[in-house]
């Protein structure tokens, strides 16, 4: 087990390096530079600016310095757009907000999705199943940027229950978390239903019934463990979906998370910030995916840990 | 012999699909919607990019059934014109992912062993890749007029038309770029599904027979293995279309996908979302169209899965 974990974790390093390298050169080879957007400056000033940020060095030297700074000092360099602040500061300020949003949304998605899916499977092909799955289908089909304005219109502008935007008190968090979590909940409901339907037909469930266990005990203690396997394997992509979703949600609700730097940094050619955001999201995704694989193996004894 | 069995299987699946009312209704709605997207912009009195600033945004009326947007453009024409782009993105990008995924998965599954191991390990690595970051970066950096892909586009287009640099072609380039980018990131699961199917099929006697008759590797993969693996592939392709459309809508929302004055449902809805408290119809119509289309594709995909997936067939009581 520990050998497997070690191998998987070590396997992340080359992938991460690949991503970082790819993005590093992609950003620098792209047309335009970080100081193009400002009004035209004399060439001497431009040269001074580039020298200050080490942009006049050959590409490979820049790459070497960047990697050295990153590996040995965990330093991502300065941020071009917000002078005087480092990329690390910006990430340290915004990442916790995004994490909070993502985790709350995932909790909500599980709390809504799993029961909905179980109901669908237990009442297979009956009214409750049809209703649960229609709700889930709507959840999958409505994009977050449509859901968000509807939520704001109903709950903020008409009923005045929750604030329109920002991220300050728990009341501020309600609408963004619902908006980020519901589409994921819909996916989880469908996966739970599918997994449960398969498990309910299995022999060990028939045995449990024959023993005379109560229906709820069978579902919660016996079927759910196997029925949730598809959900577990979805959690990796699900989290990445939430990260993407948080991009939209953070924009609409004006939440000071990391999502907005995604596009903003790329548009501004803010090399350091692009690298920082890529690195954080990339490693987060990879670690989560690995964790999901491990959880999968732990839940399903049939999976052999080799790889 | 194989032909006869194949036919009866297909007829069986077709009957099963027809019994699934939700899937049939979804299919019909999609057909009608597609027809509308083709016809409405042609037959309409208005053009999709014809602004009327004196008119401005008006609510739905007899002249403009869906109202007009903030530039006074007829919303119905724009919504159905946007539907063309949204549907095209969904279908074309799915086809791109279909081609890549089928070839990749087919080769890996057929040859098996070391090759399979290596190819699938690569897919595993790519699964953990933050693709969306790359797509966003690609859209920001290379979908412009000064990027290298535009140069390639101009030289390819130059073969067909006299003046490839004509700005009228530029929006087309951007959309083709979206196709390619979305197709390129959505083939991984397709490759896995195809590989799994091929892996089980290649041990069957009919493959052995084809091999003894001297059919080449390519022939066996494309003529014998893939047609038999088509069921799950079609199901997954149907479910890829809404995913891709959603991603396009997301990119358009960020301002990176389809650009004005063209329209896609994502772009229209995101524009409408900004002013939904004053002009709700600008959001409502494209959003409903987008949601309805995704809804239908998902239902159709589910119906196809029930009709075609042999695992569920075996479990039917």
* The residue to which tokens 């910030």 are assigned: A273
Q: For the whole prediction, is pTM greater than 0.80?
A: no
What is the average pLDDT score of chain B? Answer: 79
Residue among A9, A19, A145, A290 with most chain B CBs within 10 A, to mutate: A145
Helix axes B230-253, A229-252, angle to 10 degrees: 20
* Residue B81: CATH number of its domain: 1.10.3720.10
The nearest CA of chain B is from the CA of A189 a distance in Å of 14
User: What is the separation of C-alpha A30 from the centre of its chain, rounded to a whole number of angstroms?
Assistant: 26
Q: Give Cβ neighbours of residue B36 (< 8 Å, ≥ 6 apart).
A: B80, B83
Q: What pLDDT score does B28 carry?
A: 92
**Among B22, B64, B71, which residue's Cα sits nearest to residue B44?**
B64
Q: Do B136 and A266 touch (CB under 8 A)?
A: yes
For the record, the structure tokens of A140 come out as 């999958």
Distance in angstroms (rounded) separating the CA atoms of residues B287 and A248:
15
Q: What pLDDT score does B32 carry?
A: 92
Distance in angstroms (rounded) separating the CA atoms of residues B211 and B221:
11
Distance in angstroms (rounded) separating the CA atoms of residues B124 and B192:
10
What is the total count of domains within chain A? 1
What tens digit of pLDDT does each residue of B61-120 get? 777 777 777 777 888 888 888 888 888 888 888 988 889 998 898 888 888 888 888 888
Judged by a CB distance cut-off of 8 A, whether residue B278 touches chain A is: no
Q: Do B269 and A22 touch (CB under 8 A)?
A: no
More confident residue, A235 or A38: A235
**Among B174, B158, B178, which residue's Cα sits nearest to residue B166?**
B158
Chain B residues near residue A244 by CB distance under 8 angstroms? 132, 250
What is the average pLDDT score of chain A? Answer: 78
Judged by a CB distance cut-off of 8 A, whether residue B283 touches chain A is: yes
**Among B72, B35, A267, B255, which residue's Cα sits nearest to residue B264?**
B255
What tens digit of pLDDT does each residue of B32-53 get? 999 988 888 777 777 777 777 7
Q: Give Cβ neighbours of residue A244 (< 8 Å, ≥ 6 apart).
A: B132, B250
Distance in angstroms (rounded) separating the CA atoms of residues B240 and B16:
22
How many residue pairs bridge chain A and chain B with CB atoms within 8 Å of each other?
Answer: 113
More confident residue, A232 or B98: B98
What is the total count of domains within chain B? 1
The nearest CA of chain A is from the CA of B39 a distance in Å of 25
Q: Is residue A68 part of a domain?
A: no
Q: Give Cβ neighbours of residue B76 (< 8 Å, ≥ 6 apart).
A: B40, B44, B64, B65, B66, B285
In contact, A303 and A296? CB cutoff 8 Å: yes
For the record, the structure tokens of A246 come out as 């948080």
In a 3-state reduction of DSSP, which class is residue A28? helix
Q: Do A282 and B130 touch (CB under 8 A)?
A: yes
When computed from its CA atoms, the radius of gyration of chain B, rounded to whole angstroms, is 23
Q: Is residue A73 part of a domain?
A: no
Buried b (16+ CB within 10 A) or exposed e, A265-299: bbbbbbbbbbbbbbbbbbbbbbbbbbebbeebbee
* Residue A187: CATH number of its domain: 1.10.3720.10
Partners of residue A78 on adjacent β-strands: A86
In a 3-state reduction of DSSP, which class is residue B177? helix
What tens digit of pLDDT does each residue of B147-197 get? 777 777 777 777 777 777 777 777 777 777 877 888 888 888 888 888 888
Judged by a CB distance cut-off of 8 A, whether residue B141 touches chain A is: yes
Judged by a CB distance cut-off of 8 A, whether residue B314 touches chain A is: no
* Res. A184: pLDDT tops 80: yes
Domain hosting residue B160, numbered range: 12-315
Q: Is residue B303 part of a domain?
A: yes
Q: Is residue B6 part of a domain?
A: no
* Res. A157: pLDDT tops 70: yes
Chain B residues near residue A22 by CB distance under 8 angstroms? 134
Chain A residues near residue B20 by CB distance under 8 angstroms? none
Here the ipTM equals 0.73
Q: Is residue B110 part of a domain?
A: yes
Q: Is residue B1 part of a domain?
A: no
Residue among B130, B189, B268 with most chain A CBs within 10 A, to mutate: B130
Chain A residues near residue B243 by CB distance under 8 angstroms? none
Q: Is residue A104 part of a domain?
A: yes
In contact, B94 and B183? CB cutoff 8 Å: yes
Q: φ, ψ for residue B64 (rounded to 5)?
A: -125, 105
Q: Is residue B4 part of a domain?
A: no
Of the pLDDT bands very low, low, confident and very high (cuts 50, 70, 90), residue B6 is: low
Distance in angstroms (rounded) separating the CA atoms of residues A136 and B180:
30
Cα A171 to Cα A75, A98, A168, A174, B134: the distances in Å are: 36, 17, 8, 6, 35
Which H or E run includes B16?
Answer: helix B2-19
What tens digit of pLDDT does each residue of A85-113 get? 778 888 888 888 888 888 889 899 999 98
Domain hosting residue A260, numbered range: 88-299
Q: Is residue B16 part of a domain?
A: yes
């Amino acid at each position: 087990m520990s050998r497997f974990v070690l191998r998987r974790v070590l396997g992340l390093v080359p992938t991460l390096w690949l991503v970082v390298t790819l993005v590093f050169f992609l950003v620098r080879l792209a047309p335009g530079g970080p100081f193009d957007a400002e009004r035209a400056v004399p060439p001497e000033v431009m040269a001074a600016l580039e020298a200050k940020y080490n942009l006049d060095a050959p590409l490979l030297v820049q790459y070497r310095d960047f990697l050295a700074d990153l590996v040995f000092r965990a330093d991502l360099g300065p941020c071009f757009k917000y002078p005087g602040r480092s990329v690390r500061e910006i990430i340290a300020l915004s990442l916790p907000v995004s994490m909070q949003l993502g985790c709350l949304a995932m909790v909500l998605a599980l709390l809504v999705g799993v029961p909905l899916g179980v109901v669908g499977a237990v009442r297979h092909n009956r009214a409750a199943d049809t209703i649960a799955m229609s709700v889930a289908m709507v959840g999958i089909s409505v994009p977050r940027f449509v859901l968000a304005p509807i939520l704001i219109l109903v709950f903020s502008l008409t009923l005045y229950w929750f604030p329109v935007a920002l991220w300050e008190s728990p009341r501020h968090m309600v609408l963004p978390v619902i908006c980020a979590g519901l589409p994921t909940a819909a996916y989880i409901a469908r996966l739970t239903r599918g997994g449960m339907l398969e498990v309910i037909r299995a022999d060990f469930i028939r045995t449990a019934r024959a023993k005379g266990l109560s229906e709820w005990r069978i579902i919660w203690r016996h079927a759910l463990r196997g029925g949730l396997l598809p959900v577990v394997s979805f959690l990796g992509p699900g989290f990445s979906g939430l990260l993407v979703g948080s991009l939209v949600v953070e924009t609409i609700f004006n939440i000071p998370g990391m999502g907005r730097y995604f596009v903003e940094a790329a548009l501004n050619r803010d090399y350091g910030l692009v690298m920082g955001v890529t690195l954080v999201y990339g490693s987060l995704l990879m670690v989560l995916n690995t964790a999901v694989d491990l959880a999968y193996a732990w839940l399903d004894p049939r999976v052999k840990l080799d790889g | 012999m194989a032909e006869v069995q194949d036919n009866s299987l297909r007829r069986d699946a077709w009957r099963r699909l027809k019994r699934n009312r939700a899937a049939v209704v979804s299919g019909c709605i999609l057909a009608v919607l597609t027809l509308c997207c083709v016809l409405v912009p042609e037959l309409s009195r208005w053009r999709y990019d014809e602004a009327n600033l004196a008119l401005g945004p008006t609510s739905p009326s007899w002249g403009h059934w869906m109202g007009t947007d903030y530039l006074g453009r007829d919303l119905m024409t724009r919504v159905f014109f946007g539907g063309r782009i949204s549907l095209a993105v969904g279908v074309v990008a799915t086809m791109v992912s279909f081609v890549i995924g089928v070839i990749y998965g087919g080769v890996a599954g057929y040859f098996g062993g070391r090759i399979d191991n290596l190819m699938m390990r690569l897919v595993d690595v790519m699964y953990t890749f933050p693709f969306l970051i790359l797509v966003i970066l690609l859209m920001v950096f290379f979908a412009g007029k000064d990027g290298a892909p535009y140069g390639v586009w101009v030289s390819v287009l130059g073969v067909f038309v006299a003046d490839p640099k004509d700005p009228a072609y530029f929006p087309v380039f951007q959309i083709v770029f979206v196709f390619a980018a979305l197709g390129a990131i959505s083939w991984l699961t397709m490759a896995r599904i195809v590989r799994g199917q091929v892996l089980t099929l290649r041990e069957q006697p009919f493959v052995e027979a084809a091999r003894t008759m001297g059919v080449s590797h390519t022939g066996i993969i494309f003529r014998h293995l893939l047609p038999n693996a088509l069921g799950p592939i079609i199901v997954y392709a149907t479910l890829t279309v809404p995913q891709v459309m959603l991603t396009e809508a997301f990119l358009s929302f960020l301002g990176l996908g389809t650009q004005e004055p063209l329209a896609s449902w994502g772009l229209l809805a995101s524009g409408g979302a900004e002013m939904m408290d004053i002009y709700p119809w600008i959001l409502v119509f494209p959003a409903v169209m987008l949601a309805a289309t995704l809804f239908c594709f998902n239902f159709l995909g589910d119906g196809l899965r029930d009709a075609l997936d042999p695992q569920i067939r075996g479990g039917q009581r």
